[in-house]
Amino acid sequence: MPESYAAAALRHRRDAAALAETNRQDGAGYLIGYAAECAIKSHLESQNTEREKLRKNHLPKLIDQAKKLLQGRKSGPLLTILNIQDFMMGWKVELRYEEDGIVSKENYARWLAHANRAIGAANLRQQ
């Protein structure tokens, strides 16, 4: 079954919010990074980027890949966000293996803001 990056971005954001409400920043931070990542992949896929080029890349490597692949007028908002100097800085897929307490509230808040901007730029809306 093919991935649904759009649905996953929105689901990960909802789940991250639920965890953050109970002060579980590590899980919330991990999921919000995937929300941003899925939003980027969803947008790239809508621009006809081959799925195999997207599947195995994760943040932060995905940022450079996306910058190379984004083109056209509709890509401007996401490209602007990806050019934010600290976009998702510190987030990595390996967070899933880290000790508890590694994600601060400040990092989570910054990642949440970045993920929300990426989701908006990808034109993803809650159903």
How many other CB atoms sit within 10 Å of the CB of residue 80?
A: 11
In terms of DSSP H, where are the helices of 22-104? 25-46, 51-55, 61-69, 76-82
Residue range 99-112, pLDDT digits in tens: 999 999 999 999 99
pTM of the model: 0.92
Residues in the chain with pLDDT values less than 70: 1-2, 51, 127
CA distance 118 to 36: 6
Residue range 83-96, pLDDT digits in tens: 999 999 999 999 99
The CB-side HSE value for 3 (13 A sphere, CA atoms) comes to 17
Q: What's the pLDDT at 1?
A: 56
The CATH number that domain 5-121 falls under is: 1.20.120
**Strand boundaries in 14-119, DSSP class E:** none
In terms of DSSP H, where are the helices of 47-104? 51-55, 61-69, 76-82
